[in-house]
Structure 1
Amino acid sequence: MSKANPPTSETLADEWLVVRCQLGERDAFDELVARWQLPLWRYARQLTGHDAASDDATQDVWLRVLRGIARLREGAKLRPWLFGIAHRVLMDRLREQYRMPLVSDDAADLEAIPIDESALQLEADLAALSDGLARLPAPACEVLTLFYLQQLSLDEVSQVLAVPVGTVKSRLHRARRLLRLQLDIQGER
Structure 2
Amino acid sequence: MPTTSAEEMAVIIAQHGPALRRFTLFLTAGNWSRAEELMQETLIRAWKHPLSVAPSDSYSSCRPWLFAVARHLSIDAERARRARPQETDISVLEETAETCESAYDRVVTGAVVRQALARLPQEQREVIVCTYFRNLSGKETSRLLGIPLGTVKSRAHQARQVLRLQLDRSIFQA
TM-score of Structure 1 vs Structure 2, range by shorter chain: 0.3 to 0.5
Larger gyration radius, structure 1 or structure 2? 2
Question: TM-score when scaled to structure 1?
Answer: 0.39
Higher relative contact order (CA 8 A, sep 6+): 1
